[in-house]
Amino acid sequence: MISPTRIMHFEALGFLYGLAAIVTYQLFTGQINLQGLLQRKDGTGQTSPERIQLLLTTIAAAARYAAQVAQAPPGTLPDIPSDWLYLMGGSSSLYVVHKAWNVFKAAQQLGEKS
């Protein structure tokens, strides 16, 4: 007989795989719009290095943590290494500082026009 814990494990996996299938389907059918995801929002249409850097850092950290979770003993979650917290904090800080700088420049340009 299968234990209730094992049944819950399979239900959780089924839910996660189902959710991944739905998101993948919607991505391929265009129901989730990714157009302009990595572009600057200032109207130039240029690729934003800050967005790419933040996305790659997030994917790398998530993949590393997922690998650690897969190797962890059952019923435990591994600690998040402090160096990854610093990396994510620095990455997010760079993005926010650049975003704030762009808003500041835009406000200055509006002030000069009036």
pLDDT 10s digits, 57-100: 889 889 999 999 989 888 899 998 888 889 888 888 988 888 88
What is the pLDDT, as a whole number, of residue 23? 94
pLDDT at 109: 81
| pLDDT value, residue 114 | 63
pLDDT at 105 over 80: yes
Contact by Cβ (8 Å): 56, 91: no
| Cβ(106)–Cβ(79) below 8 Å | no
Give the domain ranges of the chain: 1-34, 36-113
Length of the chain: 114
Q: Which residues of 63-81 are buried (b: 16+ CB within 10 A; e: fewer)?
A: eeeeeeeeeeeeeeeeeee
Tell me the three-class secondary structure of 63-100, residue by residue.
HHHHHHHHHCCCCCCCCCCHHHHHHHHHHHHHHHHHHH
The token pair at 111 is 């002030």
pLDDT tens for each residue of 8-60: 989 999 999 999 999 999 999 989 988 888 888 777 888 888 888 888 888 98
111 pLDDT band, cuts 50/70/90, is confident
Looking at residue 17, what is its pLDDT? 94
Tell which residue, 34, 56, 40, 50, has the closest CA to residue 95.
Answer: 50
